[in-house]
Amino acid sequence: MDIVEAAIRKFSPLLRAVGGNESYQGSLRARLRALPQLLLENGLTSTILFYAAKAEVENLKKALMVYEGRPLTGMTKEQAGYALALSAVLKFLQDDLGLPLPSGERFSAESFLEFLNGELAPRRREVMLRLLPFTVELKRLAEASLKEAGGV
């Protein structure tokens, strides 16, 4: 699948989830704009863990549910930005690269770490080569579609 198509498929539910909420839009835009550079500077695992810590696991579960059409509720704008941005990355890893994510009740901080150190570890280089262009496309979509923080 084309990387642009994959980015659009992963971005569209995020756009619906933030809707007209400008503070959520601004936070998501900022997190998606920072993502490619953070991956380059800090690496895959550190960046994913940083976003997960900022989002918190329960909020990340909620953000992943937007791909099933559920509304986004019960989190701060900062948590929403990190959770939604990371959910796009995780859905890409799962749907487009075939990496099995823990789900449902099995999704916890521990199972997430196991995923990073288990399933993801042997494919880290391949994942980075595919993930970087994907995050650049997400950044472009965010810049074109979402309002900046502060409504600019």
CATH assignment of the domain containing 33: 1.10.520.30
**Structural domain contains residue 151:** no
Split at pLDDT 50, 70, 90, the class of 116 is: confident
**What local confidence, expressed as pLDDT, does residue 14 receive?**
96
Domain assignment present for 149: no
pLDDT band at 17 (very low <50, low <70, confident <90, very high): very high
pLDDT at 105: 62
Structure tokens of 139?
């950044």
pTM above 0.85, yes or no: yes
The reply to whether 26 falls in a domain is yes
CB 61 within 8 A of CB 113: no
Rounded Cα–Cα distance for residues 137 and 11 (Å): 9
> What integer is the mean pLDDT of 51-55?
93
Does a structural domain hold residue 51?
Answer: yes
Mean pLDDT of 24-47: 95
Model confidence pLDDT, tens digit, residues 56-72:
989 999 999 999 999 99
Burial of 133 (0-12, 13-18, 19+ CB in 10 A): middle
Whether residue 115 has pLDDT greater than 90: no
What was the pLDDT predicted at 63?
A: 94
Q: Residue 134 pLDDT > 60, yes or no?
A: yes
How does pLDDT run across 75-109, given as a tens digit for each residue? 999 999 999 999 999 999 999 999 888 776 667 77
- How many CB atoms neighbour CB 45 within 10 A? 14
Query: What mean pLDDT do residues 33-39 have?
Result: 97
Instruction: Provide the domain limits for residue 25.
Output: 3-144
Answer yes or no: are the C-beta atoms of 1 and 96 closer than 8 Å.
yes
- 124 within some domain: yes
Give how many domains the chain has, as a whole number: 1
Domain contains 78: yes
Per-residue pLDDT at 151 exceeds 80: no
pLDDT score, position 152: 43
CA distance 57 to 121: 20
Q: Distance between CA 118 and CA 58 in Å, rounded?
A: 22
Higher pLDDT, 24 or 150: 24
Query: Is 59 domain-assigned?
Result: yes
Residue 118 falls within a domain, yes or no? yes
